[in-house]
A and B are shown apart, each in its own frame.
Chain A
Amino acid sequence: MGVKFFGQYLIERGEVDAAQLRAALMLMDAENRSIGELAVEGRLISKADADKINAEQRHRDMPFGELACEMGLLSVEQIDNLVQLQWRTRLRVGQALVRLGHLANERLEELLVDYEEDQAPHRIENLALPNGLEGNAIAPIVLDLFPNLLMRVGRIATRVGSGEPVTEAPDFPIRVGVSVKGESSLLICLVGDEEFSRQLAAKASGLEPDALDTEMLVDGVGEFLNVLAGNAMAVAERNGIATELDPPRSEIGFEMGYLFELAVNVGQAALFLKPL
């Protein structure tokens, strides 16, 4: 039902077990080559240069290609070619399972078709974004996933309005945000009145709405944002964009961001997105 990677799907279907998947991952680790290894094999850089870049990566949290480019050792075009080569030649988890005899090739083909069908609702449509969010890879995914996840987690129907720039904090008592950071960074914040937040937190926790204190409302909204961000990051990762997630927080700077009004069937709420 949710976004998931292929190995997880196979385990959930009972096609393989965790030990078989682990063996496949180890085979992939042994066979798949990094961008640095491919660059050395293709004689684009020397082994000493690759070691120099790897050493620099210990101090700076940057991808190998980006650092190589910054250090003048590889061009952008060479890095693009290496990424494509890595993508074309990479041993994938299904192939590794077949190679190890844990899955028949014909069965793999059937399962890949089923998996594509299972994940079809999570493919991203093209959405119109405000100028300041164009080019942000996470924002369109968040906007696309938001209505389905809000219905699934909070049983709340919604339509997302167009995003408008804001400079001040919206006038709602509950405001929670999570930061997605990496190759594309975004602050995702949900603001709402008590009725909206109470329904969302109650459905997310399985507790009675009246049993929830304010801390629990904030926690429930924060957990929903974790789920929204995590699912968006999984989709982004499939498109080659690596990100990390910070835990939810209530202190949020609302300058230079965009507020999307939400037409919801419970209370009032809005979604706030800000590129970081």
Chain B
Amino acid sequence: MSDKKLTVLIVDDSRTVLAQIEKAVAANGAVEVVGTARNGAEAVKQVSQLRPDLVLMDIVMPDVDGLAALRLIQSRNPETRVAMLSSVGAMASKAEEAFRLGAIQVLSKPIDEDILEALLAQECERARS
């Protein structure tokens, strides 16, 4: 079994959410936050530079939103696994579009930390195998 940590990039325009997710992610010793971004354009750039194993990304953001960024990330770095965390994640139209574009999961806010933890455990397991 490898000791390599699962690397995560968090993307959200809210400082509150970045802090909340960073805290939840840090509780899992097998996961490392390698970067944060405040909009979709920054996220696309950081994915190319940092090559994280997992991106946790909001949908509603100024400039380039999460769905547009997801499309770009999947076309440029198709190996990147992206989960959306969004206040509009419960809307079938948004969630279905995210899955069509290649998202591995869509979590709605307020974030259920048990579900986030299960997602991280699943991605750690996948990275090890």
Contact = CB atoms under 8 A, between A and B. Distances in A.
A230 B99 contact: no
A3 interface: yes
Interface residues of A, number: 42
Query: Chain A binding site: helix, strand, loop or mixed by DSSP?
Result: helix
A234 B89 CA distance: 8
Given A4-B108, A205-B20, A223-B17, A230 B100 contact: no
A3 B16 CA distance: 21
Nearest to A1: B112
Contacts of B17: 204-205, 223
A12 B90 contact: no
B73 to A, nearest CB: 15
Given A26-B100, A227-B87, A247-B62, A234 B108 contact: yes
Nearest to B81: A18
B95 interface: yes
A233 B88 contact: yes
Contact of B99 (A6, A18, A233, A245): A18
Contacts of A7: 92, 95-96, 99
B110 interface: yes
Contact of A230 (B20, B23, B62, B108): B108
B85 to A, nearest CB: 11
Interface in A5-33: 5-8, 11-12, 18, 21-22, 25-26, 29
Contacts of A110: none
Contact of B60 (A6, A12, A18, A247): A247
A8 B103 contact: no
A193 B120 CA distance: 37
Interface in A180-220: 201, 204-207, 215-216, 219-220
For this complex, into which size category does the number of interface residues on chain B fall?
20 to 34
B86 A230 contact: yes
B88 A25 contact: no
A227 B88 CA distance: 8
A229 B20 contact: no
B90 A226 contact: no
Interface string B69-106: 00000000000000000111111110110011011111
Contacts of B115: 12
Contact of B105 (A11, A29, A226, A229): A11
A226 B87 CA distance: 6
Contacts of B99: 7, 18, 21-22, 25
Interface in B1-42: 13-17, 19-20, 23-24
Contacts of B92: 5-7, 234, 237-238
Contacts of A149: 110
A219 B18 CA distance: 11
B7 to A, nearest CB: 20
A153 B104 contact: no
Interface of B: 13-17, 19-20, 23-24, 60-62, 86-93, 95-96, 99-100, 102-106, 108-110, 112, 115
Given A8-B89, A22-B102, A206-B19, 10 more contacts: A18-B104, A149-B110, A152-B110, A204-B16, A205-B19, A223-B16, A226-B87, A230-B89, A233-B91, A234-B108
6 contacts: A5-B91, A5-B92, A25-B99, A205-B17, A206-B20, A223-B17
3 closest A-B pairs by beta carbon, nearest first, are: A230-B87, A234-B90, A5-B92
